[in-house]
Each structure stands twice: as structure tokens, then as C-alpha cells.
Amino acid sequence: MTAFDYDLFVIGGGSGGVRAARVAAQAGVKVALAEESRYGGTCVIRGCVPKKLMVFASEFPGLMEEAREYGWGGQDGAFDWSKFRTRLEGELTRLETVYRGILKNNGVTTYDARARLIDAHTVELADGQQRRAKHILLATGGRPVRPDVPGAELGMVSDDVFQMTELPDSVLILGGGYIACEFACILNGLGVKTTLYYRGAQVLRGFDDEARGLVAEEMAQSGIDMHMGTNILAMKKSADGIRVKATNGTERVFGAVFFATGRVPNTEGLGLEALGVQVKRGGAVAVDAYSQTAVPSIYAVGDVTDRVNLTPVAIREGMAFVETVFKGKPTKPDHDLIPTAVFTQPEMGTVGLSEEAARALGPIEVYATSFRPMRTSFIGKAARVLMKLIVCAETRRVLGCHIVAPGAGEMIQMAGIAVKMGATKEQFDATCAVHPTMAEELVTMSKPVRVA
């Protein structure tokens, strides 16, 4: 048995893996990390970051229309996708360099290669080299899946969207989750005729009904052709695009089809089962509250564990792992009251329980107001926003906060602090309003709209 080459070997250079490697190295741990693709992972290279930049790009036509109504002159120009893409690629390369730099500057050895496990302490790289480590951290993330329909190979997934050489004239988006709704708004904003098929009754399943209802309504108002209770039966190539046969009895042709039908953990080919690392149905690595697998030397964080699949959560799981294993301070990552935002237009920001989930747990009061915000009502737009609090009738704690509004992502980060601290409705009310803002409604709603 050879000695260990490293104290820690991390597989995967995304948000969770890079953070764990860095903080471990800063604590004096000898660390190596293997990444087969680009450093930064899904979030930086093919997720949150390029997505948010596309959100910004897609908001300008609406802003220009508003500007004209406010009295500014000028005409809209055409959107130059290739100019945007070149700049985007430059930014992603810059960020990837930053990620590589973080590892290098902290003394982490990196291997630009796929890695798999040979035993509880041994990793084999794609070129056959083997390295031994006292601890191994799996941070291999996840990837988008395509539905099992004839012709599915003709469709794109989110990884492909950033690589498009030109924007299609029309797109069909399949799915009703974060990615489907965000990209429907982005592509619609960029001028692509956008249709969305979702198999369920309402998009954004699991979020507060009233909030997701308003997002769906605003999406439809902005011109997205929304079809609920609809799925794809088959797709085939046609002279003018992709012909899609759907469960609603229609056959339509779209320039592109985009599957946003969920993601699966990257666990294949890692050699996990043979080692005794338990893999759950759906492919996620099973871990305990400290992110430890059934093999004591192997831990896993981030999307590969399919707990809460968000970058900041993976980062916190990575840091808790380092506290637990290398700093002698057993730390469970806290998955309670995680604020999140869906970057639709308008955005939805949410923390805590939906009205429906809270209602099932005990008596609640619901405070909500939906109104036309000042900026766009001034120019006669019908767009509405929503501010909503779910309050426990007994403890008066705010159990949930749901915001649908431009900038809701920024607002919910702040409201999330109060909710996480256990603030009561009366403490919200004791906070002076910031006027005139949309979010001031969160501290001025005096009467519940429902008691349940």
C-alpha cells in the first residue's frame, strides 16, 4: 500500500469542488482537483452566469420601448447575436482563468482530465495515471436530459443554447421548470417567436401558486405562446425546421426545439457502485447530513447529490465538508430557508413555504398585494407585481415570502435574511418603508387577505 499523494482529491471543478479545494488548501491541506471540461462548471460556463448575461441582453427591447414612452427618441436596432456571443465567450474565458487562478494560487494541483475511482483512496485519470488520497470529494455536478421521444436528437438542451451560431426565428421550449421559464423569457425578449409546452397544469410546480400564476400570466402577456397540459409526441426534420407532433393534436414547425426537462447527476463511469458508494434511483450519490457517502473516505457535494441544486448551496456544502473533515468541526450544511430566484421577466424571488405548503402544516395568515408598479403604470402598461407574506397564526413568524417583480432576485436576498432570522410579521411592520419602492409593500400590508 503506497502512501497518499494528497490529503484530498476533488473530482469536478465546478462551484462546489473549487470552493472545497480552495478552502481546504488554505487550511494547509494538500489538495488535487481533476476537471475534464472547463473550470467553473455548469454555473460559470453553461448555466447561471451566461444565462444572466442573456437575461440582461433580452431586457433591452422592453426598456427601449419604455424609454420611448417616457419621451426618449430613437429607434430599436437589430440584436447582433454574434457580437453578444463573442463578448460572452470572452467573459467565460476570463472567469475560467479566474477559477484556474484560484486553485493555482492556493497550491491546488490540477489535472485537466476525467477521473474515476479505483478504490476508497485511489483515483485514476483518463491517461491511466493513478493518485492516492486520504479523502476523495465527488463534485461532478449534473447534466441536462432529453425526453425519450422520437426525433429527440434534433432538439437542444441548455448546454447548447449558448453555442448557437445564430438565433432561430422560432423556438419551442419543452418543460415548466426554472430553465424552461427563464429561457422562454430570454428568447422571447431577444425577438425569437417563443412557444412553451408544459405537461402539467401550471409552470413552476412547487412554487407558491399565486406567484407562479402571475409569472405565467406575465409570460403570456409578453407574447410567449404558453400551452399547458401539452407534451411532445414526436419530432422530425422538415424543409423549414423541426416538425413537432404534440399531445394536443397539433403538428407545428419550429426553427428550434429546446428541452428544459430536468437534469441528472453525473455519476456514470465513476466506478461508484463497485466501491460500495450508494447511488440512488435517478443517479444521485447518497450522502449523510455531513455529505459523507457509505465509503467513509469518500464525500460528495453539489448537484451530484441532488439535494438542493443551486450554486450557493453546493458552495456551502463544500465549505461544510472542509470544516467537518479538515478543521475538526463537524458541520452539516443548512438546507433550511434557502432564498432563490427564477430569472423570468418579471423575476420571482422566494424564500420559505408556499401558501399551499404552509396551510398543510397549521393555521396561517396570508398577506398579499398585487399592483401595477409605478415605472410601467406611468406609461399605461398593465404589468403587475406581487408581494406576499405567509405568516404563522400562532408564532407570528413569517414562514414564506414570495415576490414577483422586476428585481425580485435582489429583493429576496434581503428579505431572506429576516425570514432566516425568524422575523415575525410585527417585526416586518416595525421596519420603516423605503418610499417609493415596490418592496415597501412587504412592511405595510396591515390586513391578511386570507386566514386559513
Q: Which of 61, 107, 147, 255 binds ligand NDP (CB under 6 A)?
A: 147
Q: Which of 343, 354, 355, 398 binds ligand NDP (CB under 6 A)?
A: 343
Q: Which of 310, 315, 353, 445 binds ligand NDP (CB under 6 A)?
A: 310
Q: Which of 180, 364, 385, 389 binds ligand NDP (CB under 6 A)?
A: 180
Which is it for the CA torsion 166, 171, 175, 176, positive or negative?
positive
Q: What gap in Å lies between CA 337 and CA 288, rounded to an integer?
A: 19
CB of 208 or CB of 441, closer to ligand NDP: 208
Q: What gap in Å lies between CA 427 and CA 443, rounded to an integer?
A: 9
Measured in degrees and rounded to the nearest 5, phi and psi for residue 388 equal: -145, 135
199 binds ligand NDP (CB under 6 A): yes
Here the contacts of 315-318 (C-beta below 8 Å, separation 24 or greater) are 315/15, 315/16, 315/19, 317/16, 317/291, 318/15, 318/16, 318/17, 318/19, 318/20, 318/23, 318/137, 318/139
CB of 99 or CB of 197, closer to ligand NDP: 197
Q: Which residues contact 71 (CB under 8 A, 6 or more apart)?
A: none
CB of 65 or CB of 159, closer to ligand NDP: 159
Which of 82-90, 184-192, 193-201, 287-295 is the region at the interface with ligand NDP (rule: CB under 6 A)?
193-201
Binding to ligand NDP in span 28-87, by CB under 6 A: none
Q: What gap in Å lies between CA 423 and CA 382, rounded to an integer?
A: 33
Which of 61-69, 121-129, 176-184, 237-245 is the region at the interface with ligand NDP (rule: CB under 6 A)?
176-184
354 binds ligand NDP (CB under 6 A): no
CB of 107 or CB of 151, closer to ligand NDP: 151
- Per-residue binding string, ligand NDP, 416-445, x by CB under 6 A, is ------------------------------
179 binds ligand NDP (CB under 6 A): yes
Binding to ligand NDP in span 226-265, by CB under 6 A: 231, 260-263
Identity at 359, one-letter amino acid code:
R
Q: What gap in Å lies between CA 301 and CA 20, rounded to an integer?
A: 9
CB of 177 or CB of 333, closer to ligand NDP: 177
CB of 30 or CB of 243, closer to ligand NDP: 243
342 binds ligand NDP (CB under 6 A): yes
Which of 27-35, 133-141, 192-200, 394-402 is the region at the interface with ligand NDP (rule: CB under 6 A)?
192-200
200 binds ligand NDP (CB under 6 A): yes
Q: Which of 14, 40, 168, 177 binds ligand NDP (CB under 6 A)?
A: 177
188-to-88, 219, 234 alpha-carbon distances in Å: 19, 9, 24
CB of 118 or CB of 145, closer to ligand NDP: 145
Q: What would the grid cell of residue 116 be?
A: 474515476
Tell me, by CB under 6 A, how many residues bind ligand NDP: 24
**Catalytic residue flag (residue 335):** no
Which is it for the CA torsion 245, 261, 153, 268, positive or negative?
negative
Which of 279-287, 318-326, 334-342, 426-434 is the region at the interface with ligand NDP (rule: CB under 6 A)?
334-342
178 binds ligand NDP (CB under 6 A): yes
Identity at 43, one-letter amino acid code:
C
Q: Which of 211, 300, 341, 401 binds ligand NDP (CB under 6 A)?
A: 341
Q: Which residues participate in catalysis according to the annotation?
A: 435
Residues that bind ligand NDP (CB under 6 A): 147, 174-180, 182, 198-200, 205, 231, 260-263, 309-310, 340-343
